Amino acid sequence: MAQPFPYTYYSCDCYDSKVAAAPTKHASQGIPPAEDEDERDFDPRSPGANYSLYPLEHLLYCEDCQQIRCPRCVVEETLNWYCPSCLFEVPSSVVKTDGNRCTRNCYNCPVCSSPAVVTTLEDPFDPSSSGGPWLLLCTYCKWTSLEIGIEFEKHTGITAQLARLGNGGRTIPSHKEREKERERRLELDKHKSRDILSGSEDSPTTDKRDDGPPSHDDIYANLSAFYKSQLAAQQPSNPFSPHDINFSSPSSFSRIMNLYSSSTSKKQKREKPTPMREAASPLEGLTLHSPSTDTAIIDRLKTSGWSRTLSPAQKLAQMTPTVRFTSDLRPLASILCTKRGKRCRSCRHILSKPESKITSTRYKIKLLARNHIPRLSLRALHTSTSASASATAAAAAILPFNYDSLRPGLPIHFLLHISNPLFDPVRVTLATPSLTPGRVHTRVTILCPQFDVGANTDVWDDALSGSTDTAAGGLKRFSASGEGGAGRGTEGSGGAVEAGKIWERGRNWTSVVLEVVPGKDGKA
Amino acid sequence: MSRPSARKAAPKGEYIETDSGNKVSRRSAITGTANITLGGRTVIMADVHLRGDLHPTRAAPSTSGKEPITTSISIGRCTVISTGSVIRPPSRISRGEVHYYPMKIGDNVFIGPHCTISAISISSHVHISHHVTIHPFAMIKENVKILPHAVIPANMVIPSGSVVGGQPARVVGEVGEGWGVGGGVSGGIGGGEKGGEKGWVEGGDLRELVRSVK
């Protein structure tokens, strides 16, 4: 995520703890499990660490397990589907039947994936009664459905119209028409074979009416019809009780007999099911590779050139990913999104559950990690400029610290700010390797590695009882020595940062100073 | 444009602060101030161009006799518009005339530097990074993060909770559940709230974010 540079990632040890738990079964493994979980260092540089580091707002907290839960250790359950473009909810039954695409007028440009709008081709000087022919237009790359030869009669029901319209304006046969056509051809084939057997040569069929190779949908329809017929032939169904278990069939009888006979009996009783035939003709969905289509494609490449071919991304976005040319593109119906609830993977408790209404962004349940674990943030300390107490006006004038140009060898102070969301005070102990591993050895010193962070009490409680040890409001209290008072003032006078002291402290937050000496490239 | 009175009254400084806490830079270019509403505690930085003069002209029949008050840009509370951004209400040509449509920006929206925004609506808790272009009539729902240099095509609807990027933009991810939580008060420029507690929106301190804007 593109966060402003000094960001904080939190490591979820869900994977490591699982790994540590697993070897207990294998005695051969020499890793002592579990007990030294705290001892094992998390290595943020290992390639696997990328998958366990998350920004705080992506983390949830399971109150039963008392663990943070990252996107890796939650299970998601879909609450509902909706179209991201028209924001209409799609019932799950429709998702099952129609697939996860919007069936309204939400279409994306097949070239650049931005949303396409339905616009009219109406001649303003010769208006038509229906207001159009209509077309899909991409407002980003100016692709129109005219490029694939598609115009619509109405501006509504684009999906239904598109289902009947092939590229170039030819009509796509519907499912029923396809079935009829297949039946007809099967009949013809039978006739033909009989004719051949009988020796008569004058076949009356004008069978060669198909234009080009069959389309993807045709092949699929043929194949599925073929396999359905095969399945039907496999199971001799009883027409009177189609849903009943068919006890009279020999196969189920033998199965039941097998159940009751002893397991030691040979398997000779079980007769093998007759193997299914594979598709053997084009009408059964068989497609044979023909070199002529290849040469046709090559010829097309020669004539139309590179610009008419599709990029892999465009190809993959298509419904039939075998298309090659821009003339084969189809508008893409927008893919549905889901609203999901999240559960803890180990105890199955719900961690977050959004309201089921699509337009609502509220949550019924939301257990955020930021309410349970201290929040850390790091930023550079402006010590060079004399940040006086009247920083309000000057703040805008202060040059922003350039995090991209740290100079090697020059110590820089960073402010580590830890705030506590809990209602109990927290004691923090920080540690860092004195030299960071890796190519550039940077010296990092935490000036105050151990300190307390106050409890997140009510502001009013604090204000009412505050006068005793803490002052109300944005109180600053310094540990150790008694130079309480103006922290910023001491810093401004050049005394700057002192070791062993916290920098600043408030009701439920504490900030300490880190000194960072960026190393030189290559050597320590 | 027409702020001579404010200029006299306000103390010398980068920002003019209104009664409701809006901070408007003296170096911003705001046209058609009558058609712009700011919700309060909203920051408009230098070189921001608010085109309030492009207001809806489709005049409702003046039954009351008075000129109806047309709002072209309405901006919610605690929104930050960073330097060099241009906010321009979307327009459409219909029957040979250009019609502008009112634009709405919600609360706690951060618009990064050097953006060109022509969306029809931007809901609350939206974070727009630098150099983003939003084409006319895009609609951005709540809790959206737009990555730098993204170009949002016209008429695109970005559903809530998504991260978008690219040219043209597409949804590339989702923001976490913690997005925008606790970002109630933001946009104080180096302001009185010390402690970094208040300006926290998503992963970064908004104050720091604002400060880093040049």
Stretch A27-43: mean pLDDT, rounded? 49
Longest CA span, chain A: 117
d(CA A44, CA A70) in angstroms, rounded, equals: 16
- CB-CB neighbors (< 8 A) of B191 in chain A: 392
The answer to whether the Cβ–Cβ distance between A352 and B171 falls below 8 Å is no
Pick from A377, A394, A395: CB nearest B196: A377
* Amino acid A57: pLDDT: 81
- pLDDT band, residue A360 (cuts 50/70/90): confident
* Amino acid A103: pLDDT: 87
The amino acid sitting at B30 is I
Shortest CA distance to A207 belongs to which of A172, A181, A170?
A181
Q: Please, which residues 267-326 of chain A have a Cβ atom closer than 8 Å to chain B?
A: none
Q: What is the 3-state secondary structure (H, E, C) of A99-167?
A: CCECCCCCEECCCCCCEEEEEECCECCECCCCCCCEEEEECCCCCEHHHHCCCECCCCCHHHHHHHECH
Q: Please, which residues 393-422 of chain A have a Cβ atom closer than 8 Å to chain B?
A: 393-396, 398, 400-401, 417, 419
Q: Is A285 exposed, middle or buried (0-12, 13-18, 19+ CB in 10 A)?
A: buried
Pick from A3, A113, A396: CB nearest B190: A396
* Amino acid B196: pLDDT: 32
Longest CA span, chain B: 56
Mutate to test the interface with A, among B143, B211, B213, B214 (most CBs of A within 10 A): B211
Distant-in-sequence contacts of B160-168, Cβ < 8 A, 24+ apart: B160/A361, B160/B123, B161/A361, B162/A84, B163/A1, B168/A112, B168/A113, B168/A114, B168/A140, B168/A141
Lowest-pLDDT range of A49-58, A248-257, B9-18: A248-257
Lowest-pLDDT range of A126-140, A176-190, A462-476: A462-476
Judged against a pLDDT cut of 60, whether residue A523 lies above it is answered with no
Residue A176 dihedral angles phi and psi, to the nearest 5°: -65, -40
The answer to whether the Cβ–Cβ distance between B170 and A113 falls below 8 Å is yes
- CB-CB neighbors (< 8 A) of B189 in chain A: 395-396
Pick from B143, B151, B211: CB nearest A361: B143
Lowest-pLDDT range of A186-190, A193-197, A264-268, B56-60: A264-268
- CB-CB neighbors (< 8 A) of B203 in chain A: 1, 3-4, 7-8, 55-57
Pick from A84, A391, A474: CB nearest B171: A84
Judged against a pLDDT cut of 80, whether residue B4 lies above it is answered with no
Is residue B146 a contact partner of residue B162, using CB atoms and an 8 Å limit? no
Judged against a pLDDT cut of 90, whether residue B120 lies above it is answered with yes
The answer to whether the Cβ–Cβ distance between A392 and B191 falls below 8 Å is yes
CATH for B102: 2.160.10.10
* Amino acid A421: pLDDT: 85
pLDDT digits (tens, 9 = 90+) for A41-88: 677 777 777 788 888 888 899 888 888 888 888 999 999 999 999 889
* Amino acid A156: pLDDT: 85
* Amino acid B10: pLDDT: 47
d(CA A130, CA A493) in angstroms, rounded, equals: 80
List the structure tokens of A250.
Answer: 């020999």
d(CA A127, CA A142) in angstroms, rounded, equals: 24
Instruction: Judge whether B170 lies within some domain.
Output: yes
B22/A287: higher pLDDT: B22
Q: Which of A1-5, A263-267, A282-286, A334-338 has the highest mean predicted lDDT (pLDDT)?
A: A334-338
Is residue B194 a contact partner of residue A474, using CB atoms and an 8 Å limit? yes
Stretch A493-516: mean pLDDT, rounded? 75
User: Computed from CA positions of residues A489, A493, A496, A498, in that sequence, does the dihedral angle turn out positive or negative?
Assistant: negative
* Amino acid A68: pLDDT: 87
* Amino acid B32: pLDDT: 87
User: From the centroid of its chain, how far is CA B189?
Assistant: 16
- CB-CB neighbors (< 8 A) of A59 in chain B: 176, 178
Pick from A55, A140, A419: CB nearest B197: A419
Q: Please, which residues 151-170 of chain A have a Cβ atom closer than 8 Å to chain B?
A: none
Shortest CA distance to A448 belongs to which of A485, A479, A481, A476?
A479
Average pLDDT, chain A: 74
Interface check A388 vs B, CB under 8 A: no
pLDDT digits (tens, 9 = 90+) for A394-451: 443 445 667 777 788 888 888 888 888 888 888 888 888 878 777 778 888 888 888 8
- CB-CB neighbors (< 8 A) of A361 in chain B: 141-143, 160-161
List the structure tokens of A167.
Answer: 């590229």
Mutate to test the interface with B, among A68, A82, A114 (most CBs of B within 10 A): A114
List the structure tokens of A442.
Answer: 């940077």
d(CA A428, CA A450) in angstroms, rounded, equals: 6
Lowest-pLDDT range of A113-122, A159-168, A274-283, B22-31: A274-283
Instruction: Judge whether B45 lies within some domain.
Output: yes
Task: Measure in Å the smallest separation between the Cα of A373 and chain B Cα atoms.
Answer: 13
d(CA B98, CA A473) in angstroms, rounded, equals: 54
> pTM to 2 decimals?
0.75
d(CA B135, CA A106) in angstroms, rounded, equals: 18
* Amino acid B6: pLDDT: 44
ipTM exceeding the 0.85 mark: no
Closest-CA residue of chain B to A474: B194
* Amino acid A420: pLDDT: 86
Is residue A79 a contact partner of residue A301, using CB atoms and an 8 Å limit? no
Judged against a pLDDT cut of 80, whether residue B21 lies above it is answered with yes
pLDDT digits (tens, 9 = 90+) for B68-98: 667 889 999 888 999 999 999 999 887 788 8
Is residue B29 a contact partner of residue B48, using CB atoms and an 8 Å limit? yes
- Cα–Cα distances in angstroms (integers) from residue A253 to residues A260, A262, A273, A445, in the given order: 11, 16, 14, 80
Domain that holds residue B91: 15-58+69-212
Beta-bridge mates of residue B134: B117, B152
Instruction: Judge whether B64 lies within some domain.
Output: no
Residue B102 zone, left/alpha/beta (φ > 0; ψ -120 to 50; rest): beta
Q: Which of A180-189, A327-336, A408-417 has the highest mean predicted lDDT (pLDDT)?
A: A327-336
Q: What percent of chain A lies above the pLDDT cut of 70?
A: 70
Task: Give the number of A-B residue pairs with CB atoms closer than 8 Å.
Answer: 131
Mutate to test the interface with A, among B43, B163, B177 (most CBs of A within 10 A): B177
The answer to whether the Cβ–Cβ distance between A55 and B176 falls below 8 Å is yes
B180/B66: higher pLDDT: B180
Pick from B154, B178, B196: CB nearest A56: B178
Q: Where are the alpha helices (DSSP H) in A383-476?
A: 391-397, 459-465
Is residue A345 a contact partner of residue A37, using CB atoms and an 8 Å limit? no
- pLDDT band, residue B189 (cuts 50/70/90): very low
- Cα–Cα distances in angstroms (integers) from residue A237 to residues A186, A241, A396, in the given order: 23, 8, 82
- pLDDT band, residue A3 (cuts 50/70/90): low
d(CA A415, CA A6) in angstroms, rounded, equals: 11
- pLDDT band, residue A235 (cuts 50/70/90): low
The answer to whether the Cβ–Cβ distance between A84 and B157 falls below 8 Å is yes
Shortest CA distance to A517 belongs to which of A413, A401, A380, A383?
A413
- CB-CB neighbors (< 8 A) of A352 in chain B: 177
Do you know the residue count of chain B? 214
The tally of CA atoms less than 13 A away on the side-chain side of residue A229 is: 14
Instruction: Judge whether B5 lies within some domain.
Output: no
Instruction: Judge whether B63 lies within some domain.
Output: no
List the structure tokens of A139.
Answer: 């407002």
Residue B84 zone, left/alpha/beta (φ > 0; ψ -120 to 50; rest): left
Lowest-pLDDT range of A65-69, A91-95, A242-246, A270-274: A242-246
Dump the DSSP string for B65-131: SSPPP--SEEEEET-EE-TT-EE---EEEETTEEEE--EEE-SS-EE-TT-EE--SEE-SS-EE-TT
Q: Which residues contact A311 (CB under 8 A, 6 or more apart)?
A: none
Judged against a pLDDT cut of 80, whether residue A217 lies above it is answered with no
Looking at the structure of chain B, the number of domains it has is 1
Mutate to test the interface with B, among A1, A141, A358 (most CBs of B within 10 A): A1
Judged against a pLDDT cut of 60, whether residue A491 lies above it is answered with no
- pLDDT band, residue B133 (cuts 50/70/90): very high
d(CA B149, CA B160) in angstroms, rounded, equals: 20
pLDDT digits (tens, 9 = 90+) for B134-174: 999 999 998 899 999 999 999 999 998 899 999 899 899 88
d(CA B154, CA A99) in angstroms, rounded, equals: 27
